[in-house]
Amino acid sequence: MSEKVVLAYSGGLDTSVAIRWLNEKYGYDVVAVTIDVGSEKDSSAVKEKALQVGAVKAIVVDAKKAFVDDYIFAALKAGAIYENTYPMATALARPLIAKILTDVALEEGAVAIAHGCTGKGNDQVRFEVAINALAPNMKILAPAREWGMTREETIQYAERYGIPVPVKSGHAYSVDENIWGRSVECGILEDPWAEPPAEVYIWAKSPTDAPDMPAYCEITFEKGVPIALDGKAMDGLELINTLHEIAGTHGVGRIDHVENRLVGIKSREIYEAPAALTLLAAHQALEDLTLAKDQARFKLKVTQEFSDIIYNGLWFTANRVDLSAYVDSTQRLVSGTVRIKFSKGNCIVVGRRSPHSLYAHNLATYEKGDQFDQSSAAGFIYIFGLPVKTQAQLQPIFDNTSEKKDEGSGK
Ligand code: ARG
């Protein structure tokens, strides 16, 4: 009996060729595992194709709920966004996929796990580092990195073995898609000066085509997790999909980013993430209301670190676990409702309220009922400004401080 390899199978050309190649080159029996994290592909057709192409077994795992609850919402609570721009749909799904691959590999007694990533991207790193953490002794194979075939040669290989080649659509984009967003690269997008053609975007309308009439929606959070839309309780998946629809219709969610890859190259990628951008903005607004200034300032540093951890494939590390514990603690009172206005490509927070709000009207108001003791401000400023005043007197650096000093000493 041949040894088994578990392959992350998407149904695309590379992973289909990989099934054949792993068998031909190393004599492995391939168990194809397709993990559904919310792409629009038909998983039963993907499973059929795996078997047809030569897998000894094909498994489809619906991981949508785990993806939302354990990864997407963990990232949302942390405010995670890479280089302040990319909500990391692709990056976030990788550790979950790696976990499922590892579980299946151990169950099946497989000797290795294989993935279809090339040697230039972040995803190979994310898969392999996650597998290293979950099954440190597991062998990992990356056929597409090893076989050294060009795209044309891969197609010829596929044709030789009767592997169906997806009809060429004319534009050669590479697309990764899941619940949290779409990632699109290659083709004309490799020119960072070229405006993305309209066909690149599927989820978010062009702001110019968005309805003139704005739409409003209220998002309710419980401990940092969104639980209702317009007062209607929803599970995470339904809530995200509903937001994709509303925000996308109003032209919210298009992202055009030249990012710094972990493997040292800058790359240009187009993202669509209508729900992610909306939820990140709403969540931030609720934190603005419920976290104290020092909490918010410190959390920002954790946000930055957490974002890099996700992007760099370090989900399954002690450092990430520790930071998640910190993030969860910050979310204790991040409950309440945020009101959003969608209009012509904009997603604007226009209202927020929380039973744990730190906003005190009697302190903030300029109207009747003001309880802020303005006379205390003078003493506060005296002490707060004291080191500035002292330094200006003793070490003048601004024109007028030195002039004053010269005038004074000249007399
Ligand atoms: N650059 C993104 C990341 O590293 C997305 C990668 C996948 N993109 C794609 N078009 N297949 O997370």
CA of 267, closest atom in ligand 1: 1
Mutating to test ligand 1, I would choose from 15, 90, 308 the residue with most ligand atoms within 8 A of its C-beta, which is 90
Of these residues, 10, 14, 39, 176, which one is catalytic?
A: 14
Q: What angle do CA 109, 115, 120 make, to 5 degrees?
A: 150
Q: What pLDDT is stored for residue 404 in this prediction?
A: 56
Residue pLDDT, tens place only, 282-335: 999 999 999 999 999 999 999 999 999 999 999 999 999 999 999 999 999 999
> What is the whole-number distance in angstroms between the Cα of residue 270 and the centre of ligand 1?
9
Q: Which residues of 305-344 are buried (b: 16+ CB within 10 A; e: fewer)?
A: ebbebbbbbbbbeeebeebbeebeebbebbbbbbbbebbb
Catalytic-residue membership of 36: no
pLDDT value of residue 183: 97
Write down the pLDDT at residue 347: 98
Tell me the residue type at 32. Answer: A
Residue type, 306: F
Mean per-residue pLDDT, 60-89: 98
Would you say residue 411 has pLDDT above 50?
Answer: no
Residue 172's pLDDT band, with cuts at 50, 70 and 90, is confident
Residue 180 has pLDDT above 60, yes or no: yes
Mean pLDDT, residues 76-91 taken together: 98
Residue 183, ligand 1, Cβ within 6 A: yes
- Which pLDDT does position 309 carry in this prediction? 98
Residue closest to 291 by CA, chosen among 372, 223, 226: 223
How far apart CA 228 and CA 351 sit, in angstroms, is 16
Measured from the Cβ of residue 280, the count of other Cβ atoms closer than 10 Å reads 18
The share of the chain scoring above pLDDT 90, in percent, equals: 92
The number of C-alpha atoms within 13 Å of 224 and in the hemisphere containing its C-beta is: 22
Contact 82, 310 (CB under 8 A): yes
Residue 171: pLDDT band (50, 70, 90) is low
Separation of alpha carbons 46 and 31, rounded Å: 13
Residue-wise pLDDT tens digits, 36-65: 999 888 889 999 999 999 999 999 999 999
Share the mean pLDDT of the chain. 95
Contact by Cβ (8 Å): 250, 258: no
42 is catalytic: no
Q: Give the pLDDT confidence score for residue 70 in this predicted structure.
A: 98
Rounded to an integer, what distance in angstroms lies between the CA atom of residue 88 and that of residue 308? 10
- Rounded Cα distance between 390 and 393, Å, is 5
Report the pLDDT value the prediction gives residue 39, as an integer from 0 to 100. Answer: 86
- pLDDT surpasses 90 at 407: no
- Ligand 1 pocket, 175 CB below 6 A? yes
| Ligand 1 pocket mutation pick from 86, 171, 185, 202 by most atoms within 8 angstroms of CB | 185
**Cα separation values, 79 from 228, 330, 355, Å:** 19, 12, 21
Specify the pLDDT at position 399: 84
Mutate which of 81, 183, 310 for ligand 1 pocket (most atoms within 8 A of beta carbon): 183
Percent of residues, the chain, with pLDDT higher than 70: 96
Whether 269 is in the pocket of ligand 1, judged by its Cβ within 6 Å, is: yes
* Active-site option among 10, 16, 20, 123: 123
Give the integer Cα–Cα distance in Å for 31 and 347.
Answer: 44
88: left (phi over 0), alpha (psi -120 to 50) or beta: left
- 185 CA: nearest ligand 1 atom: 10
User: How high is the pLDDT of residue 331?
Assistant: 98
Q: Angle of helix 274-290 relative to helix 236-249, nearest 10 degrees?
A: 110
**Residue 410: what pLDDT?**
46
What band does 12 get if pLDDT is binned at 50, 70 and 90? very high
Angle, CA 167 vertex, CA 163 and CA 172 arms, to 5°: 110
Averaged over 197-223, what is the pLDDT?
98
Q: How far apart are CA 149 and CA 105, in angstroms?
A: 27
| Contacts of range 287-291, beta carbons closer than 8 Å, 24 or more positions apart | 287/79, 287/330, 287/334, 288/352, 289/336, 289/352, 289/353, 289/354, 289/357, 289/358, 289/359, 290/333, 290/334, 290/335, 290/336, 290/354, 290/356, 290/357, 290/358, 291/330, 291/334, 291/358
Task: Compute the average pLDDT of residues 165-192.
Answer: 87
Of 29, 39, 94, 183, the active-site residue reads 94
Query: Tens digit of pLDDT for each residue in 341-365?
Result: 999 999 999 999 999 999 999 999 9
Tell me what the mean pLDDT of segment 139-148 comes to: 97
Question: Torsion over CA of 166, 39, 7 and 65, rounded to 10 degrees?
Answer: -170
Listed range (69-78, 339-348, 361-370) with the worst mean pLDDT: 361-370
Query: Is the predicted pLDDT of residue 169 greater than 60, yes or no?
Result: no
Q: Which tokens in the block code for residue 345?
A: 């490509």
